Amino acid sequence: MIPDFDIDLLRTFVAIAVTGGFARAGKRVGRSQSAVSLQMKRLEAQAGVRLFRREGRRMVLTADGRRLLHYARRILALNDEAKASLTRAGIEGPVRLGTNQDLAESSLPDALARFALTYPAATLEVRVEATATIAAMLDDGALDLALTLGLAGATQRAGATALGRERLIWIGDGGAPPAREAPLPLVLCDEPCGIRAAALAALETARLPHRIVFSSPSLAGLRAAVRAGLGVTARGERALEPGLARVAARRTLPPLPELNISLARAPSAPPTPAVDRLAAILEEMFADGMTPMAPVI
């Protein structure tokens, strides 16, 4: 008979997946790297399977490890919500979150609804802005947390937690892919926009003729223009919805870089319990559906 999982072991296990390493997870849960390693051996004994395998100098999750990670996040979420429903003392006050349009229109509403339901005494304020604006507001103390989508390879903010990755893809209306001979009609967000810059750079490198036919400050405007057949756009996979489709002809359009999702805290003030709880919910919910970051020792 498989014994019940230890909540503390599962919490450290999830911390490894979120932070990307045993040492960083140890700092998060208040244990040494050797203690974290011993905890994972105990968890593997409880699970009866190997959760990690060595790749060179790194330890990465096995298929069983990834499967357990999915359940571990759900177990911890229910555990923490049960505790919070009985003892909500201290979980109150304002929590100010900044995020991008891409995230605000996809999984974020579920996370915010869960936070509001579990902690009704807390006051949630959300600002949807460009990444550069969010970064400035975080530095100025106008935000407590920043959940952002940025290009992989870009310099990550000091202290930010990487939640996962998402593919940046070409999106059209599902019709015939654009002909290579004609200038490619583009539908892009207004400047400044990192995805816009990445799309244009990829086309320039591929020497593919192109022209911007539609520019908008909002994702709703982009989607409407693409659905109308005005052109193609570059966006993360989460932007796909009815009426939009991945441009299938890979030989027609150049590959695009990946996107990183990260969560950063304001550097100027210590977090409150409410800020800590929203951060934990975001880490659990957003990391669950993303490409897992490889744990590293």
Q: Which CATH class, in words, describes the domain spanning 90-163+259-283? A: alpha beta
Tokens of 59: 């330890």
Q: Chain-centre distance of CA 175, in angstroms?
A: 30
- Looking at every residue in the chain, the average pLDDT score rounds to 81
**Rounded-to-integer distance, Cα 36 and Cα 128, Å:** 37
Each domain of the chain, given as residue ranges in start order, spans: 7-85, 90-163+259-283, 167-258
Pair of tokens at residue 207:
């020497």
CA distances from 116 to 92, 94, 109 (A): 11, 12, 10
pLDDT value of residue 9: 92
CATH 3.40.190.10 fits 167-258, yes or no: yes
Half-sphere exposure of 276 (CA within 13 A, CB side): 11
Omega within 30 of 0 (cis) for the link into 120: no
Q: Which of 77-86, 175-184, 222-231, 266-275 has the highest mean pLDDT?
A: 222-231
The 10s digit of each residue's pLDDT in 14-25 is: 888 777 778 878
Buried b (16+ CB within 10 A) or exposed e, 262-276: bbbbbeeeeebbbbe
pTM of the predicted model, to two decimals?
0.65
Distances in Å between the Cα of 95 and the Cα atoms of 16, 90, 134, 135, 163 are 26, 13, 15, 16, 20
In the numeric block, which tokens belong to residue 196? Answer: 């816009």
- Tell me if domain 7-85 and domain 90-163+259-283 are identical in fold: no
E strands, 3-159, in order: 52-55, 58-61, 93-99, 122-128, 145-151
CA angle 59, 147, 233 (to 5 degrees): 95
pLDDT digits (tens, 9 = 90+) for 239-293: 777 788 888 654 578 888 888 888 888 887 777 888 888 888 888 776 544 443 3
**CATH 1.10.10.10 given to domain 7-85:** yes
Residue range 159-186: mean pLDDT, rounded: 76
Q: What is the pLDDT of residues 118-139, one digit of tens each?
A: 888 888 999 998 888 888 898 8
Contact of 170 with 198, CB cutoff 8 Å: no
DSSP three-state, residue 264: strand
Tell the residue number behind the tokens 């429903």, with chain if given: 85
Report the Cα 102 to chain-centroid distance in Å. Answer: 10
- Pairs from 214-217 (Cβ < 8 Å, separation ≥ 24): 214/186, 214/187, 214/188, 215/187, 215/188, 215/189, 215/190, 216/187, 216/189, 216/190, 217/189, 217/190
The CB-side HSE value for 284 (13 A sphere, CA atoms) comes to 25
